[in-house]
């Protein structure tokens, strides 16, 4: 996980240095959305919050474009195991 222990500002800087296109940037809310125009993969910095099912910590959502199995993955900044969301299958 390349995001473990990094701050919002460090991740933003890393994405910009890699040439990702900035789609949305909110330094106060510590959120940002970036896209790799070559692959279509997009990244969203999520500060986390309390949900009905409990607290979800700060993480980076990676939305895969054209992945055969996964829609997205969550990479947690505290090093918790990443979580995958599988593609919805048509019935």
Fold of the domain built from segment(s) 8-86: Chondroitinase Ac; Chain A, domain 3 (2.60.220)
Q: Where are the domains of the chain?
A: 8-86
The predicted model gives 76-81 an average pLDDT of: 93
In the chain, what percentage of residues exceed pLDDT 70?
97
**pTM to 2 decimals?**
0.83
The predicted model gives 2-23 an average pLDDT of: 93
Structure tokens given for 61: 């959502």
Enclosing H/E stretch for 11: helix 8-17
CB neighbours (10 Å) of residue 48?
A: 15
pLDDT confidence band for 13 (50 / 70 / 90): very high
Q: What is the pLDDT of residues 20-62, one digit of tens each?
A: 999 988 877 778 899 999 999 999 999 888 888 889 899 999 9
């Amino acid at each position: 996980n390349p995001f473990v222990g990094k701050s919002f500002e460090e991740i933003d800087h890393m994405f910009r240095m890699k040439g990702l296109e900035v789609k949305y940037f909110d330094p106060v809310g510590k959120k940002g959305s970036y896209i790799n125009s070559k692959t279509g993969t997009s990244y969203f910095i999520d500060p986390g919050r309390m949900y009905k099912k409990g607290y979800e910590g700060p993480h980076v959502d990676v939305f895969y474009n054209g992945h055969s199995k996964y829609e997205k993955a969550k990479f947690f900044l505290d090093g918790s195991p990443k979580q995958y969301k599988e593609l919805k299958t048509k019935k």
